[in-house]
Amino acid sequence: MIPAEPDPVCTGVGIEMKSFAIPNVLTIAGSDSGGGAGIQADLKAFSALGVYGASVITAVTAQNTHTVSAIHPIPNDVIAAQIDAVLMDIAIHAIKVGMLGSVDIIETVAQALSRYPTIPLVVDPVMISKSGSALLPMNAVAALKQQILPRAYLITPNLPEAAALVGLDEPTTIDGMYALLPKLHELGAKHVLLKGGHLEGDNDAVDLLSDGKHVQAYRAKRINTQNTHGTGCTLSSN
């Protein structure tokens, strides 16, 4: 990664310049009023990892851990202006893309990012919230596949999202997850992290990370909890 510019550091007796190799990461996503998902979750994850986080808000949502009660899309020109304002000033080392919400927003983000083709893109194809609320209309899925996913370094779909992206039934076994990986790579992403948390009847949770040639399985003991709001956002920001 490219070191960030030296930052001023308060010493208690004055300001001195000290160089830090702190990565700068931009998140492009929706705002969660409950603070558990979206932009808020991304920035918390960045901070926990020692990363400087910048943000572009695509929509303001009224939500909590139970439901999404309102969604207000940000005007397209304001989204584009946010992207340019950040990328023209700050040396961004990676971009995470979350909730986009509509064909127009997808097209706006894709056009703006086309001016910065060398920055790695991590895409969490947010389609449905944990509470079951639709966050991406089905008519926008094709736009996401055509305009965003082909330039992604990594995509992080869960099983329902992966099935929707490739037009197949949701896998019910780990073998089914493996079979889905080639179809996901056909969408153009260099790497795929397929999250298996939706599989039932297994004591472990299994995620598969693929580069198109090799697959690494990550297995962990499943945690019996209802506190899953924002987990996908947080994982894709790590």
| Catalytic member of 96, 130, 145, 195 | 195
197 tagged catalytic = no
| pLDDT category of residue 204 using cuts at 50, 70 and 90 | confident
pLDDT greater than 60 at residue 172: yes
Task: Give the model's pLDDT for residue 165.
Answer: 93
156 tagged catalytic = no
Q: Residue 183: which H helix or E strand, with range?
A: helix 174-185
Q: What are 47-84's pLDDT values in tens digits?
A: 999 999 999 999 999 999 888 899 999 999 999 999 99
188 tagged catalytic = no
Q: What are 8-49's pLDDT values in tens digits?
A: 333 333 333 344 578 999 999 999 999 999 999 999 999 999
| Catalytic member of 67, 172, 173, 228 | 228
Task: Give the model's pLDDT for residue 130.
Answer: 58
12 tagged catalytic = no
How many whole angstroms separate alpha carbon 238 and alpha carbon 229? 16
| Catalytic member of 190, 212, 231, 234 | 231
Pair 61, 101: CB distance under 8 Å: no
Classify domain 7-236 at the CATH topology level. UDP-N-acetylmuramoyl-L-alanine:D-glutamate ligase (3.40.1190)
Provide CB contacts within 8 A for 35, sequence distance 6+: 41
Number of H helices, E strands in the chain: 7, 11
| Catalytic member of 10, 27, 230, 234 | 230
Q: Residue 63: which H helix or E strand, with range?
A: strand 52-63
233 tagged catalytic = yes
pLDDT greater than 50 at residue 231: yes
Domain extents in the chain: 7-236
How many whole angstroms separate alpha carbon 173 and alpha carbon 180? 11
183 tagged catalytic = no
